[in-house]
Structure 1
């Protein structure tokens, strides 16, 4: 069996964070989201892994996965998930395969879905119960068998949403070849699954165990960071001087924590500097981050971000790569902001 990770999307709901790089390389609990997808496939015994990228995402995805052995498949235009599968047909060949959305996180991995993929089953679909199924593809079940899929229905027939993992046989390829674009101009994977159902194929739904996260919005990223940090064991490899560390804290090699308070769970990445600062629970600092004479909690600071001499505590915040938040001393007493499209700022 092979694995296919989709990482060609533009992540429009996470702009401005994704204006310059793709969502799957954003770090949660210190690691790119994409790493968790690859690790879940490897843990399930899948060693041949392809990653679908676009011309815009390829460079960043390759850099993020430089330590992994994967194949790259180029999707020139964003024409939907089913189109991405069709583009990867040469790589997949006649093998059954796992389709994995690269921005999804599963607490307990994907073995459960592979175990349900038995003889006579054409597809296994991961399902999760959600409070507002109108935002998702929704499955109608008879026993374990899916008999109908509806994409973002106004009146959902169930609370079982389609999550980001699917297992297919090659039977799905001719169905995809006969698909027509949806109203939004894309070839939908839900339409391909419905095509299998309409042919009388056995499509099985399996509920997700543990938590599942689609990291589509800033609040989802922060919550995913929280959930992953709750499971992270302490690890102190960097320099800690005249500081108080409480709870589960990771200080990676090359990081410095001086005269500070860190309350876990928290992650401090390689080369980060924390000086005269407070790092509160559920905070991740990426490589090279600087937090000096400032306070931050329940936040993600990405690579080389800077938080310096800020009087009020930063919380529920995400600072992108190289972003800087500093105080301004002297006159005139004013805020100075340089913000990209779709940025958000709250000033006290």
Structure 2
């Protein structure tokens, strides 16, 4: 089994945090988004993942590539890096990894997290993972027949078609079939909205008799902008806390401070006269002094003092000293 992860977009809606780090490497509850994504996919697959292929921008840099290869290595899988040089859509991004598009595979876009407890139907030609939503007109949705098979993909329907939204994760029994159809899309220059779309490859597969079925997830968590990323961090912390996962490192120094769980607190963090939580993630090496922090996400090696934070997001190596509450500052920023 392979996992293919298109992630060449920087994530402009999450700036300034994505100016130095691509969005899929932003930590949620102490672990990069893409790391949590591939781990959770592996749990649903319930089989060994042999390769994780990452499609990234050419300007992401050597450190990003190293971090991604380490994620694959931690899963006992081969890591492969591919490049998408132009933002030409989902279909184009997948085809940048065409050398890995053979055999069973999951394709997952690295800007979402999920919780699921379903058995993957590996007898189907393909599975599209979906989540029931209240406002389907804002999403691409699937239409099902009485056999629970997907008959149509409809993008942001004005009239009700279905309330099952596509979350951007797909399983293919043989991803080479999709590769062949996407190659036709590229060769015939089938463009929608200025981009080559995965849906055109899927539609061609359906027209040739391939069976698509839904895989419904219980939770779908977005990481598109600061507010929803902070919210997703809190939801993930709650899930991990309920599962009994250890979230507070033994090396944390707690001086006249209190922690209200769930919280993630990394290695060598120092808390002085602080009230932390709930729903707070603090990365390695941070120092928090004279502060009250809840519903917030702070990355690594940052210093926060004299602060009362709620719905805040602070990057790595940042310094914050002030009275603002709902802040969003990136790596190496200084507000004193």
Task: Normalising by structure 2, report the TM-score.
Answer: 0.84
Give the 3 Å change call, closer, same or farther, for CA 318–253 of structure 1 in structure 2.
same
Matches within 5 A, 1:30-179: 30-43=30-43, 44=45, 45=47, 46-65=49-68, 66=70, 68-69=72-73, 70-93=79-102, 95-108=103-116, 112=119, 115-118=120-123, 121-143=124-146, 144-168=148-172, 169=174, 170-179=176-185
Whole-Å Cα distance in 1 between the matches of residues 233 and 268 of structure 2?
Answer: 20
Instruction: Describe the superposition over 1:201-238 as per-residue Cα deviations: whole angstroms up to 9, x where unpaired.
Output: 21212211x2121221223212221122113349xxxx
Match of 1:25 in 2: 25
Residue in structure 2 matching 1:286, options 276, 283, 286? 283
Whole-Å Cα distance in 2 between the matches of residues 287 and 136 of structure 1?
Answer: 37
Instruction: Describe the superposition over 1:43-82 as per-residue Cα deviations: whole angstroms up to 9, x where unpaired.
Output: 3322322111111335453343325322212222222221
Give the 3 Å change call, closer, same or farther, for CA 67–255 of structure 1 in structure 2.
farther
Contact preservation (8 Å) 2:52, 2:72: no
- Quick check: which one's helix share is greater? 2
Task: Normalising by structure 1, report the TM-score.
Answer: 0.82
CA RMSD in angstroms comes to 2.8
Match of 2:320 in 1: 325
Match of 2:76 in 1: none
Offset, 1:36: 1.0
Give the 3 Å change call, closer, same or farther, for CA 60–213 of structure 1 in structure 2.
farther
Offset, 1:4: 0.9
Match of 1:213 in 2: 221
Whole-Å Cα distance in 2 between the matches of residues 13 and 249 of structure 1?
Answer: 31
Matched, 1:202 2:211: yes
Structure whose alpha-carbon radius of gyration is higher: 1
Whole-Å Cα distance in 2 between the matches of residues 193 and 249 of structure 1?
Answer: 41
Instruction: Name the SS of the counterpart of 1:64 in structure 2.
Output: helix
Structure 2 segments unaligned to the other structure (5+ residues): 74-78
Residue in structure 2 matching 1:267, options 264, 268, 271? 264
